[in-house]
């Protein structure tokens, strides 16, 4: 048996883990208060996978679910205490080679202060706080008018010896 490759991300009330196993069979997912046990057979080579995790915090085993697709198994772990961030998936601070962060789905939900602003509004606000004329930052390039452009490509190259 070998561990299945997985990626995870945190939300306010749940933690999601996606086990990247194609064509999984004999799937067994067991949710406990502070553990997750994942087993399956997957791929063309029918490799047996087993991942056992001591979770960072408690979950509600009855409200937690999983969904199998042809490419992966997605587990939704319902947090026992919503609103508490998980800085990592496991109690153990060790890094597992088979486990990574799902940056495509990660959201820093703890900082709700800017959540209402759209990306454009955040950018505009940032530009306004930088100063300069008309909200544009002063890049220190004033007085450049009237200077001839100088291009290093126009200089004569030294003779080769």
pTM of the model: 0.66
> What integer is the mean pLDDT of 68-75?
93
Contact 5, 102 (CB under 8 A): no
52 phi/psi in degrees, rounded to 5: -120, 120
Spatial CB neighbours of 51, under 8 Å, sequence gap ≥ 6: 3, 4, 6, 19, 36, 37, 38, 39, 98
Contact 7, 102 (CB under 8 A): yes
For the chain, the C-alpha Rg in angstroms (whole number) is: 26
SS3 of residue 126 by DSSP = helix
Give the pLDDT confidence score for residue 100 in this predicted structure. Answer: 93
Domain 6-82 class, CATH top level: mainly beta
Hey, where are the domains in the chain?
6-82
Give the pLDDT confidence score for residue 156 in this predicted structure. Answer: 77
């Amino acid at each position: 048996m070998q561990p299945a490759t997985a990626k995870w991300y945190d939300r306010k009330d749940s933690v999601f883990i996606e086990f990247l196993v194609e064509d999984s069979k004999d799937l067994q997912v067991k949710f406990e208060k502070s553990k997750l046990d994942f087993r399956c057979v997957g791929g063309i080579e029918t490799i047996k996978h087993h991942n056992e995790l001591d979770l960072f915090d408690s979950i509600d085993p009855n409200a937690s679910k999983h969904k199998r697709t042809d490419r992966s198994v997605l587990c939704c772990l319902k947090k026992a205490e919503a609103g508490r961030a998980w800085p990592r998936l496991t109690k153990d601070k060790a890094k597992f080679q088979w486990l990574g962060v799902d940056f495509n789905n990660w959201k820093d939900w703890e900082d709700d202060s800017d959540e209402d602003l759209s990306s454009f509004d955040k950018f505009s606000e940032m530009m306004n706080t930088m100063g300069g004329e008309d909200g544009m930052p002063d890049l220190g390039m004033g007085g450049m008018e009237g200077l001839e452009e100088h291009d290093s490509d126009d200089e004569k190259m030294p003779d080769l010896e």
